[in-house]
Every structure is written in structure tokens, then in C-alpha cells.
Amino acid sequence: MKNRIILVLFIVSAAAQLFIAVSSLVFNERILSNGAVYRFRTEPVDPYDPFRGKYIELDVHRSIITDEAYRFDEGEKVYVLLKRDEDLFTSFSGISEDKPSSADYIKLEIDYISGNEIEFKNPFDRYYIDEDYAEEAETAYWSESFDGETYIEVRVLSGHAVLEELFLGGMPVLDYLES
């Protein structure tokens, strides 16, 4: 009887873990398939994570100036409105405590507030890449960051965002490395 209970608990635990993993993948794939595309310019940072492998650490401009900064607190989750410029690059254009009904937005956490400036935690800080390309991609990213143009494309749907691709010199990173 005791072995049966342990087996049932093990099966329930395994099923719960599988459900969580699959639902997360399905959620992100839904955003990648149906989300609107936004481009953010990036800046280089030097990375390595021994537990998660090689990646390119990204930094995007993630602050906003507002006369209403006093209304918000550090650590608070808010809705940040998105705006595309004439070059189709994205910046943050507003902040709200309430979910916007018509504009595209991302739900972000406030990192710090200084005067009228609010800076948000970086929502797109890592671009993971196959170990075989990691060193070459990082070198190319640093080079393009200073001499060319680097940016990411992000898919946004219902306040959630998923980083889709890193671009170097106007090309997806793997295409850039092959050329």
C-alpha cells in the first residue's frame, strides 16, 4: 500500500512538472506566432553563466521621463506603453498602473526612480546561442555595437514579450556569422 501511494505521488509530481514546462513553451510560442514585432537598439555587456551556458548579454534603453514619477514605487509592476519611431525602433512612451485598452504595452517592474526618471528592470537581457557560435557571435556583436548597428526584435502580445531575434548589421545573428 505504501509503495502504491509513493508511486501515485511520483506520477502526480512528474505530470505537474511536465505540465508547467509544456504550458510555458506553448505560452511563449503563442506570443512568437501572434505577437506584434518591436525593435529595440542594444548595447553590449560582457557575459557568461556557468549554469545556463553562453549567451550575449543585452542592454536596451529602458527608462522614461515623467512628471508623475512620484506616483510610483520601486519594485512596482506597471504597464509601459510602446512607441515606434520613423525607423521602426521602439521606445517607452508612457506608464500606467492600469492595463491599457488600445495601445501596445509591456508589463514591467520598476527598478529605480530618480527625480522624474523611472528605469525599469531589463526585460530583454540575454540572447542564448549555440555553444558552437557563441564566441564568434559575441565578438561580432561587440564589433557591430561600436561600428555598426545591433538591435533585437521582440514579439509583444497582451503585455507579454518574447525576444525573437538578435540582429547584427541588419541581419539575424546566424546569417551575419555565415556571411
Q: d(Cα 129, Cα 56) in Å, to the nearest integer? A: 8
Helix residue ranges, H only, the chain: 2-34, 131-147, 173-178
Q: What is the pLDDT of residue 111?
A: 94
Instruction: Identify the pLDDT of residue 50.
Output: 54
Residues 6 or more apart whose Cβ sits within 8 Å of residue 107: 77, 78, 79, 80, 159, 160
Average confidence (pLDDT) over 150-163: 90
Bridge partners for 96 per DSSP: 79
pLDDT at 44: 55
Q: Is the pLDDT of residue 26 over 70?
A: yes
Q: What pLDDT digit, counting tens, does each position of 106-139 carry? A: 999 999 999 999 999 988 888 888 888 888 888 8
- Count other Cβ atoms within 10 Å, centred on residue 42: 24
Mean pLDDT, the chain, rounded, equals 84
Strand ranges, E, within 22-149: 36-45, 55-60, 63-65, 77-84, 90-96, 105-114, 117-120, 126-128
In the predicted structure, residue 166 carries a pLDDT above the cut 60: yes
pLDDT at residue 165, as a whole number: 92
Give Cα 42 to chain centroid, integer Å.
12
Closest CA to 46 of 158, 138, 166, 128: 138
